[in-house]
Each structure stands twice: as structure tokens, then as C-alpha cells.
Amino acid sequence: MLITDDFLPVPVPESLSATYLVPMAGLPKVSAKTAVAALTGRLAEPVHGLARQMLDSPLMSVDTRPITEFPELPPDLLTAFGATEEQLARLAAATHLVVVQAEYRPGWPPAHEWAARAVAAAVAESVDGDVVDVFGLQFLDPATALRSLPDEQGRIRLVDWVLVPYSSDTEGLWFTTKGLRRFGLLELQTQGVPDHLTRAWGAVMTGAARRLLRDWTDGLTGEEVPAFVQLPVLATVTGHDIAVAYGNPEQHGATAPVLLRLELDPATDPEADSFLSLRPPAGHPGPDGRYYAAACATLFSGIQPDVRYARSGDAMSRAVATARAALGDARARFVAGHLPAESQLVVKYGLPGDDGPEYVWAGVTSWEAPERIVGVSASDANTDPSVRIGAPVVVEATDVVDWAVLDATGVIEGGWTQAVLDSGEPPTPSR
């Protein structure tokens, strides 16, 4: 096996397995084969055919057992991963579990996962029940489970298969993926992420997972399963990777790529998992958190710093007036938690300079008092050396000239001043 400084050898498991449960009160109404046959015309090929073939092979088993034969599924963890009270109530009332298990070799397509999820969804639909994804400890209603399977072009949304949970410690946020082991790849992790990057870094991790999963499956295309796949030490992540992972390939912007260094972090405890750590490239100056903030600013570059305007009555002034008029509503929704899921509120405000004000963006972290916004800078300022990416800032609401709501694809609301710049109607410079 060739090992170089440019590639990291990652071990490949001999086989992979998937397990799905369907809780129900009583016994199944129809057989698994009948339930899958009912999906004809609704489930794209080759998944429908794959499910039927695996049902007829030793690679899949479907068993119905009393629920008392199984350890209790942890309600707290199921709730943490999105279970509703109604789903937990149906689980508590269940007398039996239909257990769908499948095995397959590592590679693409992940036949074990696709076929097992399809069969479990078909069985759950026949009894108006739920699917429990044992790997992710997630409840899925049958419609959601079926939508997560490949479409006619073989496309999936990686976010339907890979989660990105995080926790907090004294050094910042610890992000991990949960789902790459479905495909045989070690899970990713990043430590020391600044608190204000909760949503943005989760999207970056998802994009990185998409890119590395493609490299991983490319290394498994041979007839024989290799012992190792060599992954690039420097992983390149782009806005396109993030957009595709979220199922919106047409919405990605032309952002510059970001480099992340891949390190193997083997577990010291035999019962624990090993990880692939994402770090800044070797030689990066400053703390890791600053690199992560700069990476997010690059990948979500729908907003730009250093906007200047002077004329009253021009397009930029109208944009500022529009933003300020809606600022109170933006605060109200932020405080109430009514902004779109997985989004971030940012504001643009002015810094004094010798040649006129410099306008920079900041991510909002707290807005308790209407007149004062607490946040972190989303860019480096030219006029104030203390305003750097990731640095805490306090912004007076009267200084705000624009605001925007961002998600993994860029600006989804607001950003009126940036729209003026992008339209080719910039105002007269103030200097």
C-alpha cells in the first residue's frame, strides 16, 4: 500500500449492515413482499427492484418479534433526535416489532441501507405506523423515509442520512457527524468551533461529508473490497458541496473553496469510535476558531463588507430605509425563535473612518435590549483593528443599515444593500 504525505489511508470494513424497526400493536397486516409490491410506480428504480431482490436473498431478513424481547429504546435520545410525543406514545403502545436487517459490501450504491429503509417504510405504511432508524435513533414516518431514497436520477439528500450533532465545552463547540459509518467511512469531527458558528459550521461539516463520501466511494469501485482507501489529507469544500448535500444544487453560489486538513483520531477505548478530524491546514496562524470563522465567511459569501454610500434618494438610501423599517420585525422573530430553521441573522453597521464610514457585517448572538445588539464580526474591518472575524462586537441598533437571514445556500431574506451592489447600481462613493 502506497502511503504519502498527501493521502491518509482509512481502513475499510469487510461488510456493512442496516437495521430498521417498525413498532406496531398486533401483527403485520400483510407480508413484507406484498407491502413492497404496493410501492410499484411510487418508488424509483433501481431501489424498488433492489428491495425486492434483497427480500428474496440471504442478504436481508424480516422478522416479527414481541417487543419485550428487545431492550427498551431510549426515549430521551429518541426525543433528542426529533421524536414527537405521538411517535413515543405509539412506541409505548406497541406489542411487536418488525425487524428489517440487511447486509452488503462497502461501496456505492449502499444497497443495505436503501433496501432496508424501503422495506421498513413499506411495512410501516401498511399499518399506518412509524419507522425507527436504529443507526440514527430516529423516527421516520413512511412518507419521509420514502422521500429520502434516491430519485429517478439516483440522487439523494445527504442530510437525510447524515446528522451533525454538537456539544459545548470550555474550548468551544464539538461537532461530529452521525451517519457516515452507514457507508463504511469513519465519522468526522471538529473541535474548538466558536459558539456563533453553530448553524454555519454544521453546514460546512455536511458539505465536507459529501465531498469525502464521494472520494471514499470512488476508492471502492473495484471488484474486490480493498483494506484501505486513501483519502486526500487536504479536503476541499465548496458552496456546491454544501448545496448538493442539502438537495439544492441549483442554489449554490460561486464561492471560493475552503481547505480542511484531515487527521485520523483513533479511539483509545475499544468500545469507542475513531474519528476523522477536520482541522485548519498546517501552518495556519492563529487559533483554529479564527480559521473556521474565515472559512464560513468564504463559503457563505452572499454578504460583503465595506459598503459605502453618500447620496440621499439613490438606490442605496432606499435600500437602507427598507432595511431599517423592517429591523424591529427581524428582532421580534429572532427573540421569539421564529426565524427559519438552520438560519442565522446578521446585521450590517457602520464604523467611522477618515474617508467615510466602513460598513461591516456581524452575526447576531443576543438581542435582549432593542437598542443594543450583541454579536460576532463576520469580517475583518480596515478601519478598526479590533474588529476581526469571530471577534465579539456590540452594535447600536441606530447604526444598523441592513440585515439579512442566511442559511446554507446564502441570503434567504433581507440584504437590500447587497442587492443594490449586485444590480450594478452602486451609489456615489463617499470619498
Cβ(318)–Cβ(276) below 8 Å: no
Q: DSSP letters along 287-338, please?
A: -HHHHHHHHHHHHTTTS-S------TTSHHHHHHHHHHHTHHHHHHHHHHT-
Residue 227 located in a structural domain: yes
Last residue of a domain, one of 300, 325, 343: 300
- Same-domain status, 61 and 134: yes
Per the structure, the complete domain to which residue 292 belongs is given by: 158-300
Q: What is the pLDDT of residue 286?
A: 80
Q: What is the pLDDT of residue 181?
A: 96
Cβ(120)–Cβ(36) below 8 Å: no
Question: SS3 of 199, please?
Answer: helix
Backbone phi, then psi, for 142, in 5-degree steps? -55, -40
Q: What is the pLDDT of residue 373?
A: 93
Residue 278 located in a structural domain: yes
CB burial of residue 88 (10 Å; 0-12, 13-18, 19+): middle
Q: DSSP letters along 86-140, please?
A: HHHHHHHH--EEEEEEEEE-SSSS-HHHHHHHHHHHHHHHHTT--EEETTTTEEE
pLDDT digits (tens, 9 = 90+) for 149-193: 998 888 899 999 999 998 987 788 999 999 999 999 999 999 999
- Degrees, nearest 5: CA angle 135-199-408: 95
Cα atoms found within 13 Å of the Cα of residue 48, Cβ hemisphere only: 15
CA distances from 231 to 217, 228, 234, 340 (A): 10, 9, 9, 35
Query: What is this structure's pTM?
Result: 0.72
- Same-domain status, 222 and 336: no
- Same-domain status, 164 and 286: yes
Q: Which residues of 345-355 are buried (b: 16+ CB within 10 A; e: fewer)?
A: bbbbbbbebee
CB burial of residue 143 (10 Å; 0-12, 13-18, 19+): exposed
Q: How many domains does the chain fold into?
A: 3
- Same-domain status, 295 and 388: no
- Same-domain status, 144 and 163: no
Residue 6 located in a structural domain: no
- Same-domain status, 70 and 144: yes
- Same-domain status, 178 and 291: yes
Last residue of a domain, one of 148, 176, 210: 148
* Alpha carbon 377 to its chain's center: 23
Residue 305 located in a structural domain: no
Residue 308 located in a structural domain: no
* Alpha carbon 140 to its chain's center: 18
Residue 412 located in a structural domain: yes
**R_g of the chain, CA atoms, integer Å:** 25
* Residue stretches of the chain with pLDDT short of 50: 1-4, 304-313, 425-431
- Same-domain status, 165 and 140: no
Residue 428 located in a structural domain: no
Last residue of a domain, one of 113, 148, 183: 148
Residue 20 located in a structural domain: yes
- Same-domain status, 71 and 194: no
- Same-domain status, 329 and 249: no
- Same-domain status, 45 and 135: yes
Beta strands in 2-69 (DSSP E): 7-11, 16-24, 60-66
Q: What is the pLDDT of residue 417?
A: 83
pLDDT digits (tens, 9 = 90+) for 183-199: 999 999 999 998 888 88
